[in-house]
Chains A and B, each alone.
Chain A
Amino acid sequence: MLLLRIIRKEVLHNVLSFRFAVTYALLFILVVVSMFLMGSQHRTKVDEYIRAEGQLNTKLDEITNTPDANEQFQKVIQADLPGARAPRPLSVLARGLEGSLPTQVSSRNRFVTRSSDDRLGRNVLFDVFQTPDFAYVVNIVLSLLALLFVFDSICGEKERGTLKVLLSNSVPRDTVLLGKWVGGYLSISAPFAVAVVGGFVYLSLSGAMQLQPDDVIRFAAISLISLLYIAVFFSLGLFISTATHRGSTALLLSLLVWIVWILVVPNLAPITARLVAPVPSRQVIDAEQQAIDREAQLLQESIRKRKVYGDQEESERIQQDAERKRRKLDQFYNDRMTRQVSFSQGLARLSPSASYLFAVTRLAGTGPILFDRFRDAHDRFQEAQNDWRDDLFRSGNVEFTRTGPQVKDKDWFDPDSIPRFQMYSEATRAAIDAAMFDILLLVVFAVLFFMLSFAFFLRYDVT
């Protein structure tokens, strides 16, 4: 009962303050504007994807409708049937690595190329500053606002003398602290929740996001993680407030902690990890693989010149040997890279900001895992396309004559048999499980700071 009264007092005190009004306005504007902008951005990407798919379908239709089977075959061989990559719906909330991937891959060229058009034909200002998505707003802005909200909740009351009056009543200190935490947290998380719901309504009504039930769960999970993240900073601010006796000191310390912990530690981590756990550049690996190939080729050539029976076996052995060496190099590179990645993640996790970012991008499907998924999908697509083309030639349906290919079976062409580019996303459950480590880390931070503030407040000198 007493607790409720303290909570009520705290909420009222916050809501009536000038700080609340402006913070609330800023928070609401930022969350909604970011969702609006990223939503529109996403919609153009989706339109682009639909257009690419449509283009592919018209191309296939055109081929299907070609009356002459021989000409049809010719067209299939020549055509590039590119694979389009569907943008992740939740990149609206956390863009992550979404922008670093190509949106289309060719079916004829194994390597994804970037021409000078790609390099210059884009607005580079997008790359100068960080993407203002929801994850950014929460990660950077909201953590600061949470600290700003709570930095004087204890020491400010001490300065005004109200804390003395409050504690002269028969109310245990733990109840006071808990009441302050709950009241303060409610008054920042409630407007945040309203803004998120507002953004959600906008996104689903405007059609910027095609919401599957699965995505709604992910959306909710991301919002909950954001609330948890705010709780971490709220507890941290409370702790700083119980450790100081003047509002201005608490503010400066909060800013210091925020700068070091949010801006410096996570951002320095990846480069530091790169220095500590270096990976040889891909080009060196490629060059060594080429050297292996060349060596194998030379050996095989010298064998061919000998023209002795039984050399076939030796030649094959050389081939296998080279293959093994190549694979070993690839393995070496991948191992090193995995080590570096896990090292950078571990180092970045010293700050809850990185934990938050990892958890949210994992759920949105735009985190570091996206690169792996894309590589897999790309390899799969290329292999399937190659197999499909090989099958065309090997099926015995086509005979190559001087006037061009002659097709025996006239309706051999089945557009549905053409392999499409398909990227599989992680199941929601698996994503949540994978993000659990980071979520638990956030919980640990929140609890730790609350305990610390509790310990400090019990012996706080209120006079």
Chain B
Amino acid sequence: MLLHIVRKELLDQLRSLRFAIACAVCLLVMLLSSAVLTRDYREALSTYNMNRVMHRNELEQRTQIRSVNEGMTVDRPLNLMNTMVRGLSQELTESVKIQPGNRLDFPETWEGNPVLPLFPAVDFVFIVGVIVSLLALAFGYDAVSGEAESGVIKLLLSYSVPRDTVLLGKWIGGYLALVAPFTVSFLLSMLLLLLFPEVEPDMDGTLSLLALFVLALLYLAAIFSLGIFVSSRTRLASTSITVLLLLWVAFVLALPNMAPYAVSQVLPIPSQESMRREKQAIQQEWSERSQKIFREEQEKQGRDDVFDEALRQRFDDMRQEMEAEMQKVSDSQTARVRHQMRWSAIIARVSPMTSFTLASLDLAASGITQEQRYVEALQAFSEKWGVYAEEKQADFRRVMEENRGRMTPELMEQFNDIDLSDAPQFEFSYMPASERLTSVYPDILLLVLWNVIFFMGAWLSFLRYDVQ
């Protein structure tokens, strides 16, 4: 019986205009986006390779000892998943300057094409999250109310078929009709991706892609169930599509965007500048205090050169105190940012769209966790570079100390044939697939929950639906 209904529903859908539209939209948009983004990836790959060689050459050509202090530039490796999910960063390539003193210097966004940041990228997340979800509503909105209007459902239920079977059949048939064009387009865009010789899929990437696809199916199922739910609560198809579109606008277009702004009103965080000012104030206080101590000491002892072991110890302690205080400011800022971020994500997750988007970002290793990993890796590398630079300069420092800072050109000449070709290389690997999968399971559960809620709602409503 169920099979009959599924078959009928499927045939119904396949002959409809919306199926044709869904096929056209899915194919067109996904292939177009895949082609454009993969070509963009290819360009980025060549830029990345060029930049890497260039930066390495630049480093190895240096001969002057002073140039060690110029730091070095490293490039972020490309992430193949960015052809599907653009993620947080606008650009696929990024060169970060490692400055001495463990400072990182990230590139600015305002140097490039100003039209780019005005528009969101049409990637897989955007296509599924916004476009295909709208199509899912178009598939579900008249499942019950449309048939009630045309009277078909009266006829159908006059047979000895339980209502739950009817609903389940409708769900399966409609969902199959929805995901068929989507799956085909997805597979075709994967094929298109593989046509590029630069694309070398690995195990992690393939697994994440698969998980991404399943996630998309789950999200679409939730939206489709919502469509059936609303359809079985209304008597007219026009009413149900109105309600659905408004819900869609509110939950897909408005809520995820507005939630972070609303949360930032309730849980404000001070700006980076004010934190920097606070740190500067601490530093200033420290330098003034140490100058004062130095002067007092000079007056007390009556001579200029008062720098002995005890005083040095005292200054070191003060310095550590200041650094600890500055670290405290940073930490409290970080904690507040995390807090705000957590609550924004929680509030925004009222919409399934947020769960889908954030989970996709994590699966593609281009989301929030990834960002933290990347910056941490850079910081670790920066420390490594610092140690290396110290080692390179050790001899020079020693000679400098021996000569009390007065270096003759002949002495300098000795140190001006350094070789930096053994400098450390920046290695960075994206999160392994297993880690990505474990980090997204709450969102997957949430999507399953939405599915169950909407389907249960549809079922309860359909059981008492008045078919007259």
A123 vs B371: C-alpha distance when bound (angstroms): 12
A283 vs B58: C-alpha distance when bound (angstroms): 12
A19 vs B378: C-alpha distance when bound (angstroms): 54
Chain A 271-304 per-residue mask, 1 if CB under 8 angstroms from chain B, else 0: 1111100110111100100100000000000000
Residues of B within 8 A of A248 (CB): 17, 142, 237
Residues of B within 8 A of A406 (CB): none
Q: Do residues A132 and B254 form an inter-chain contact, with CB atoms below 8 A?
A: yes
Tell me how many residue pairs across A and B have CB atoms closer than 8 Å. 244
Residues of B within 8 A of A337 (CB): 113
Closest chain-A Cβ to B424's Cβ sits at a distance in Å of: 18
**Stretch from B179-187, B243-251, B293-301, B314-322 contacting the other chain:** B243-251
List A residues 144-171 near B (Cβ within 8 Å): 144-145, 148, 152
Closest chain-A Cβ to B279's Cβ sits at a distance in Å of: 9
Out of A115, A259, A273, A275, which one reaches B103, CB within 8 Å? A115
Out of B40, B88, B271, B358, which one reaches A127, CB within 8 Å? B88
Asked whether A350 is an interface residue with its Cβ less than 8 Å from the other chain, the reply is: no
The residue in chain B whose Cβ has the minimal distance to the Cβ of A122 is: B337
Task: Say whether, besides A22-B243, A128-B358, A141-B249, A344 and B25 are in contact (CB < 8 Å).
Answer: no
The interface centre, meaning the residue of A130, A247, A255, A275 with most chain B CB atoms within 10 A of its CB, is: A255
Q: Do residues B32 and A129 form an inter-chain contact, with CB atoms below 8 A?
A: no
**Stretch from B1-9, B151-159, B255-263 contacting the other chain:** B255-263
Interface residues of B (CB under 8 A from A): 17-18, 21, 24-25, 28-29, 32-33, 36-37, 39-40, 43, 47, 50-51, 54, 58, 88, 93, 95, 103-122, 126, 130-131, 134, 138, 142, 237-239, 241-243, 245-246, 249-250, 253-254, 256-262, 264-265, 268-269, 271-277, 330, 333-334, 337, 340-341, 344-345, 348, 357-358, 361, 368, 371-372, 375, 378-379
A137 vs B249: C-alpha distance when bound (angstroms): 10
Asked whether A422 is an interface residue with its Cβ less than 8 Å from the other chain, the reply is: no
The residue in chain A whose Cβ has the minimal distance to the Cβ of B337 is: A121
Closest 7 CB pairs of A and B: A368-B114, A132-B257, A114-B106, A37-B261, A129-B257, A344-B115, A125-B260
Q: Do residues B131 and A124 form an inter-chain contact, with CB atoms below 8 A?
A: no
The size bracket of the interface on A is: 35 or more
A111 vs B241: C-alpha distance when bound (angstroms): 53
Q: Do residues B273 and A121 form an inter-chain contact, with CB atoms below 8 A?
A: no
List A residues 177-217 near B (Cβ within 8 Å): none
Q: Do residues A30 and B245 form an inter-chain contact, with CB atoms below 8 A?
A: no
Task: Say whether, besides A145-B249, A267-B122, A271-B40, A123 and B115 are in contact (CB < 8 Å).
Answer: no
Q: Do residues B341 and A124 form an inter-chain contact, with CB atoms below 8 A?
A: yes
Asked whether A12 is an interface residue with its Cβ less than 8 Å from the other chain, the reply is: no
List A residues 438-460 near B (Cβ within 8 Å): none
Closest chain-A Cβ to B52's Cβ sits at a distance in Å of: 11
Residues of B within 8 A of A3 (CB): none
Task: Say whether, besides A104-B273, A122-B337, A132-B261, A263 and B130 are in contact (CB < 8 Å).
Answer: yes
Out of A104, A251, A270, which one reaches B116, CB within 8 Å? A270
A-B CB contact pairs (8 Å), 19 listed = A52-B277, A97-B110, A97-B114, A103-B271, A112-B108, A116-B378, A120-B337, A121-B337, A125-B259, A247-B238, A255-B138, A264-B122, A267-B119, A269-B119, A273-B115, A287-B54, A337-B113, A344-B113, A371-B110
Residues of A within 8 A of B104 (CB): 115-116, 119
Asked whether A34 is an interface residue with its Cβ less than 8 Å from the other chain, the reply is: yes
Task: Say whether, besides A264-B32, A275-B39, A116 and B106 are in contact (CB < 8 Å).
Answer: yes
Out of B115, B243, B257, B273, which one reaches A341, CB within 8 Å? B115
Residues of B within 8 A of A284 (CB): 50-51, 54
Q: Do residues A141 and B242 form an inter-chain contact, with CB atoms below 8 A?
A: no
Q: Do residues B43 and A275 form an inter-chain contact, with CB atoms below 8 A?
A: yes
Which label, helix, strand, loop or mixed, suits the secondary structure of the B interface? helix
Closest chain-A Cβ to B422's Cβ sits at a distance in Å of: 22
Residues of A within 8 A of B246 (CB): 22-23, 26
**Stretch from A38-46, A306-314, A386-394, A407-415 contacting the other chain:** A38-46
Asked whether A429 is an interface residue with its Cβ less than 8 Å from the other chain, the reply is: no
Asked whether A64 is an interface residue with its Cβ less than 8 Å from the other chain, the reply is: no
List A residues 323-370 near B (Cβ within 8 Å): 337, 340-341, 344-345, 348, 354, 357, 361, 367-370
Q: Do residues B330 and A117 form an inter-chain contact, with CB atoms below 8 A?
A: yes
Task: Say whether, besides A125-B341, A140-B253, A248-B142, A267 and B114 are in contact (CB < 8 Å).
Answer: no
Asked whether A55 is an interface residue with its Cβ less than 8 Å from the other chain, the reply is: yes
The residue in chain B whose Cβ has the minimal distance to the Cβ of A25 is: B246
Q: Do residues A271 and B121 form an inter-chain contact, with CB atoms below 8 A?
A: yes
The residue in chain B whose Cβ has the minimal distance to the Cβ of A30 is: B254
